[in-house]
Amino acid sequence: MSTSSARPDNCLASGLPAGKMPELRMMPAPSDANVYGDVFGGWIMAQVDIAGSLPATRRANGRVATIAVNSFVFKNPVFVGDLLSFYADIVKVGNTSITVNVEVYAERNRLQACIVKVTEATLIYVATDSDRKPRKVPPIETLLST
């Protein structure tokens, strides 16, 4: 039996990821919607790229450039007024590259505390120098000693 106060089926019982801070939080506006009223996928992709670049920039200790999007999955639609939380984790560090997984959750129907996973993506960034040429990612020990 469904009532207006029931939570939708796709709400996550666990809520937002525990013990993690989002890299980015955004609320899409009406100007971010497509002609059907859902938030435009390209807008979400741009925010995912920004969120993924933040830990990559910290790890590279400087400028990075997006070189690949290995996967990008829209799991649920995003609506104007959803509060989006973007979580990004570095999963691999190469010589010049940094691979980042990004997960996006929407808080909707905030009176009913509904959290929905809306997007997941894997992006690759390359550390670049001032001439925008690839450079080595510094060893973690170097970053910890500064």
Q: Is residue 121 part of a domain?
A: yes
Within-domain flag for 11: no
CA distance 121 to 44: 11
Confidence grade of residue 117 (pLDDT, cut at 50, 70, 90): very high
Asked whether 30 and 62 are in contact (CB, 8 A), the reply is no
pLDDT in tens, 82-91: 999 999 999 9
pLDDT grade for 126, boundaries at 50, 70 and 90: very high
> How many separate domains does the chain show?
1
Q: Is the pLDDT of residue 145 over 50?
A: yes
CA gap 60, 93 in Å, rounded: 9
Residue 1 within a domain: no
Q: What is the CATH number of the domain that holds 45?
A: 3.10.129.10
- Beta-strand ranges (E) seen in the chain are 24-26, 64-74, 83-93, 97-108, 114-127
pTM metric for this prediction: 0.87
Residue 7 is assigned to a structural domain of this protein: no
16 occurs within a structural domain: no
Q: For residue 99, what are the domain limits? A: 24-145
